[in-house]
Homo-oligomer: A and B are copies of this chain.
Amino acid sequence: MEIVEDKILKSTRWLTLVERIYKDMNGEQQAWVMAQRNNDCSAVMIIPIHYTTHHETPQKRIVVTKEYRVPLGDYEWGFPAGLIDEGESALSTAHRELKEETGLNLDEVTEVSPSVYNTAGMTDEAITMVYGNCSGEISNEFQEASENIETFLMAAEEVEELLKGDHKFGAKAWLILKEFVKIHNITERKYVEDTTATLP
Contacts and interface: CB of A to CB of B under 8 A. Distances in A.
A92 interface: no
A163 B152 CA distance: 31
Given A12-B19, A17-B35, A35-B123, A1 B71 contact: no
Given A12-B33, A35-B122, A172 B175 contact: yes
A192 to B, nearest CB: 5
Contact of A12 (B17, B123, B176, B192): B17
Interface of A: 1, 3, 9-10, 12-15, 17, 19-20, 22, 24-26, 30, 32-35, 37, 43, 68-73, 76, 78, 81, 113-114, 116-125, 127, 129, 145-146, 148, 168-176, 179, 182-183, 186-188, 190-194, 197-200
9 contacts: A1-B70, A15-B122, A69-B117, A71-B123, A72-B117, A120-B168, A129-B175, A187-B192, A188-B194
